[in-house]
Chain A
C-alpha cells in the first residue's frame, strides 16, 4: 500500500522523532511511504483564528501537494481533521471544493489508518511500562477516532494503560487559545496534569503533538517525573 506522509509542521520542526517512528512503523506494516517535501502546515492556526482568506491559500497549496497520493497519513488527529475541513473553505469554488473533498476522503490519522484501513490491531510492539492515554479533542470529536488508539495500545506487550480521570476534558491547548487566554488555559492544563498524576503512571501517551507540547510543557515547568510520548513512538517500541 502506498502512503504519503503528512508529517505536520510541529513534528517536522519540534518532534522529528515522531516523524521517524511514523515512517518506521508504517514500513514495518508493509506500507510503501513517501514524503512529499513541498508540504508545510495544515492551516489550522489561521483557520481557527478567523483568517479564512489566508487559510485558503495554505489549503490550496496542501491540496496540490497531495493531489497524486493514494493515502495521506499523519501522526496528528487535529491536523488531519483540518485537512478534512478544507471543503468548507471553498463553498463558492466548486472545482476546489471537489479537490478538497477528494483529499478529505483519503486522509487518515495514523492509528485510524492502521486499524481502519490496514485492519491491524497488533503491531507487535513491546514497552514494559505503566502509562495513561490522553484523548485529544479534535481527534476524538471532530475526526471521530475514538477506539483505534486504545485497541493498538492494548496489544503493546508489557504496557499497562491506566484510565485517565476526566479524560473527556480538553487539556487547554486549543492552538492560539493557549497564548490568547493564558489564565484559562493554565487552569485547564493544571487540572489535566493533576489527573495524569493521579493515575500513578510514569508515561503520558498522546496522539497529537499540540496537546503533548502543552501538557508536557506544563509537566516540565512543574518538574514532575512524568515522561511524555507520542503514540507513534510507543507503537514502534521494541524491547528485546
Chain B
C-alpha cells in the first residue's frame, strides 16, 4: 500500500465514509476516549504550554540544522558498525532494502509499525523480491490479514474496525474459533506471531526518533513487538523519514514525553526502546547487521518553504483525535495513509495537488488541531497557505469562484458598491423568500439551502436603522 489509497474521487470517498456507520461509531468513541486521556495526561504534567514551546523549539532547531544532524547521525551509526543509506526517492529506498534482503537470502521478514514504509510501499517491493512480510503490530497485522486494508489512523491503524469484524477476519484467514473478546483476539494474534518472530531472517522497523549524538534509534510501542523484531532476526533494517531526528538524548526525553501524552494519553508507553548499532560481542541478542535507511521522498522540498513547520510533526495524531472532519468521514476518505489535519497538510506536499487538491479545503478551519499539536504546528494556517498556493501560484481554482472573489473584492473595498449591493439584496431575494427564510436558494446558494435554511436579507439594514436613529427618527 503506498501513500495514495484507492482510486475513488474525493467526494465518492467522503460519501462512503459518511455512510459507514460502523466506522463512524468506532471513530467517535475512540476520539472521545483519546481526547479525555490526552487532556488528563497533559494536565497532570503541568505547564503544558511551556512544554509545547520547548517541543516546537527543538523541532525547529533540528530542521534548521538538519544537514548537520544527519551527518552526525550517519557518522555515529557507521562508527558503531551500522550501514547508512540515504534514499532520495521511494524507489531508491525499496531497491536498497530489497538488495539487502536478497543478499541475506531472506525468506521471512517481520516488521514493526512504520508509516514511512507504508508511504514508500515497501511490503510490495519485498514481496516482489521473494520475501514473505509479516506485520507484527496488532493493528497492522489485522489490516494485513484483511486483504491489505490500508491504515485509517496514524497511531491506531485499524481504528475503523470493530471487534466483530476482527474476529471474522481471524476466522476467515487463520481459522480462529473463539470469541470477539479483545483479550482472546490479542492472545490468538500473539500465538500466531510468536512463531514468525522465531523464524524470521530479517527485521524491519520504523523510527520514532533517531538520536544524532550516539547514532541510536528509538521506538515507542505498547505491544513489545518492536523489541522482538530487533532482538531475534540476524539482520535489522530501520527506515526513517529524514526529519525524524533529535540532537541528543535530552531532547529525545522531551519529545517522547510530548508524544506519549499527546498520542495515547500515557506518561510513557509500555516499551520505549533505544538501540545503537548491531550487537556487540557478548550481547545475548540483537542483530548481527544493522542498516539505517533515511528516506527523503519529497521532504527536502518542504524545507525552507512556508510549509516547513509541517516537518515538525512527531506523528502523535493528537490533531486527528480532535478533528471534527475526521470524526465524520474517517481516515480512508483522505485518500492517503496520512489522514486528519496533518494528512491534509502533508499529503498534498508529498503527493502533489493533482491527486489531493481537495484536502486543504476539507477543513472548517476550526483550529482544534492547531490547539492540540504538541509541537505547535499551525495546522489550520498551513491549510490556508495551501489554498493561497492553489489559487495564486497554481491557478487551479474554479473560474466562477475567481470571478466571485474579484466581485467580492470590488464590493468590499468600495463602500458605494457595497451599499448598493446590500440595499438591493432583500428585493433580489424576495422571490425566493418564504416566511423570512430561503429554502431553495438560486445559484451559489443552492449547496447551502440543500441542507439548511438561509435567512432572508433584512428590508432595513442595520445601517439604515442607524441613520434614522441618528436623525432622531427611531
Contact = CB atoms under 8 A, between A and B. Distances in A.
Contacts of B104: none
B329 interface: yes
Q: Of B390, B460, B462, which is in contact with the most chain A CB atoms at under 10 Å from its CB? A: B462
Interface string A27-65: 000000001011111010111111111110110110000
B409 A221 contact: no
Q: What does DSSP make chain A's interface, helix, strand, loop or mixed?
A: helix
A48 B462 contact: no
B148 interface: no
Interface residues of A, number: 66
Given A19-B466, A37-B415, A218 B364 contact: no
A39 B462 CA distance: 12
Contacts of B453: 216-218, 220-221
A173 interface: yes
A184 B408 contact: no
Given A14-B455, A16-B465, A57 B413 contact: yes
User: Chain B interface residue count: which class?
Assistant: 35 or more
Contacts of A149: none
A47 B384 contact: yes
A221 B329 contact: no
Contacts of B397: 49-50
Contact of A182 (B329, B390, B406, B451): B451
Contact of A172 (B324, B329, B384, B425): B324
Given A37-B463, A53-B392, A179 B447 contact: yes
Contacts of A188: 324-325, 328, 364
Nearest to B362: A181
A237 interface: no
Nearest to B396: A50
Contact of B465 (A14, A20, A47): A20
Contacts of A178: 364, 448, 452
B328 A61 contact: no
A193 B409 CA distance: 34
A142 B463 contact: no
B324 A170 contact: yes
Contacts of B464: 16
Contacts of A175: 365
Contacts of B454: 213, 217
Nearest to B367: A141
A40 B455 contact: no
A12 B451 contact: no
Contacts of B329: 184, 187
Contact of A12 (B388, B462, B467): B462
A189 interface: yes
Nearest to A176: B361
A138 interface: yes
A95 interface: no
Contacts of A169: 324, 327, 366, 368
B413 A60 contact: yes
A183 B328 CA distance: 10
A76 interface: no
B401 interface: yes
B116 to A, nearest CB: 29
Nearest to A10: B455
Interface stretch (B10-18, B43-51, B286-294): B10-18
A37 B329 CA distance: 43
B167 interface: no
B408 A46 contact: yes
B367 A186 contact: no
Interface in B435-469: 437, 439, 444, 447-448, 450-458, 460-467, 469
B38 interface: no
Contacts of A182: 447-448, 450-451
B363 A217 contact: no
A50 B387 contact: yes
Contacts of B180: none
Contacts of B194: none
A105 interface: no
B364 A50 contact: no
B418 interface: yes
B455 A213 contact: yes
A186 B457 CA distance: 23
B371 interface: yes
B391 interface: yes
Contacts of A52: 388, 392
Interface of A: 7, 9, 11-16, 19-20, 23, 35, 37-41, 43, 45-55, 57-58, 60-61, 137-138, 141-142, 168-170, 172-189, 191, 213-214, 216-218, 220-221
Given A13-B457, A141-B371, A188-B364, 5 more contacts: A16-B458, A51-B405, A52-B388, A137-B365, A182-B448
* CB-CB nearest 6 A-B residue pairs: A174-B364, A50-B387, A217-B452, A170-B366, A19-B462, A54-B409
23 contacts: A12-B463, A14-B455, A14-B456, A49-B391, A50-B388, A50-B389, A54-B405, A55-B409, A57-B413, A58-B408, A58-B413, A141-B368, A142-B367, A174-B366, A180-B447, A181-B14, A181-B362, A182-B450, A183-B11, A189-B452, A214-B452, A217-B452, A217-B453
